[in-house]
Structure formats: C-alpha cells, structure tokens
C-alpha cells in the first residue's frame, strides 16, 4: 500500500509540474541539469563529446518506478483516434480545476499513508502485547507441568 501510494503521489506531482510548464510557467520546476565528471568536462571543453545520458526508466520516461503489481498488458489493437477541433489555443483559467483535482488526490494519498502508518503501529503494539501474554501463559503452563510432575 505504501509503495503504490508513494508511486501514485510521485506521478501526480510530476504531472502537476508538467501542467505548470504549460499553464503556469512561473511555477514550473525544470529537471536537474546533468553534472559531468571533471574528466568529461575537460573533454567537452577541448571539443570532445559528453558521454551519452542514460534513458530514464519508469512510467513514460519519468524516472518514477512502478511496482510490478500495478503493471498491465496493453491491447495493441486500438482504434484510430477521433478527429479533433482546430488549432489548440491556450486558456489560462481552465487549468485551475485540474490542478485543484490533482492537489485533492495528493491530499487523499497523504491521508491514506498516515492512516496506514497509524494502523501499522497499532497492529505492532497489539502483536507485542499478544507475545507478552503468550510468554506469560507458557511460563505458567510450564510451571504447572513441573509441579504436576513433582507431585
């Protein structure tokens, strides 16, 4: 549960950042620049080429990994996409609903993570109490058996 919720939260934050790139460029946070090693930097300064960048893995090249329990097989026999309207025009205020919905989903995931953490702590405390009770019962049973055997 924690792994899937964390992955979903990472993906939602990534999607929100991508929407910000289009609708709110001031809020967009670009990806970190690649740091070259000292040797590679010297090589590129003298006209060499930098080593190739590794392709990001995960969901659609985002680098966000997917738990194997969430993977689905895609049907390759998809129909052709429908005709679209004319050229796309940018609309500033229409992104607020989508952003608010993504924020709501992230808050829900945070609540679910907090609930699961509390439930896990409670279950651990119950388990420890059960183990203590069992140890006391075993000790009492053992004492009773030794007293029966001595009598």
Structure tokens at 130: 């059960």
In the predicted structure, residue 79 carries a pLDDT above the cut 90: no
Per-residue pLDDT reduced to its tens digit, 22-66:
888 888 888 777 777 888 888 888 887 877 777 666 666 666 666
pTM above the 0.75 mark? no
| Whole-angstrom distance, CA of residue 8 vs CA of residue 20 | 18
Provide the mean pLDDT of the chain: 81
Distance of alpha carbon 75 from alpha carbon 47, whole angstroms: 47
| Cα 22 from Cα 24, distance rounded (Å) | 6
């Amino acid at each position: 549960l924690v792994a899937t919720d964390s992955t979903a939260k990472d993906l939602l934050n990534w999607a929100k950042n991508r929407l910000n790139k289009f609708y709110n460029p001031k809020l967009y946070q670009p990806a970190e620049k690649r740091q070259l090693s000292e040797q590679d930097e010297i090589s590129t300064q003298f006209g060499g080429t930098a080593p190739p960048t590794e392709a990001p893995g995960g969901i659609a090249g985002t680098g966000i990994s997917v738990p194997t329990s969430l993977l689905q097989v895609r049907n390759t026999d998809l129909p052709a996409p429908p005709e679209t309207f004319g050229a796309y025009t940018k609309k500033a205020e229409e992104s607020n609903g989508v952003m608010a919905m993504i924020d709501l989903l992230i808050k829900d995931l945070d609540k679910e993570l907090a609930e699961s953490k509390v439930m896990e702590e409670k279950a651990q405390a119950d388990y420890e109490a059960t183990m203590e009770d069992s140890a006391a019962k075993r000790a009492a049973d053992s004492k009773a058996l030794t007293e029966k055997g001595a009598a």
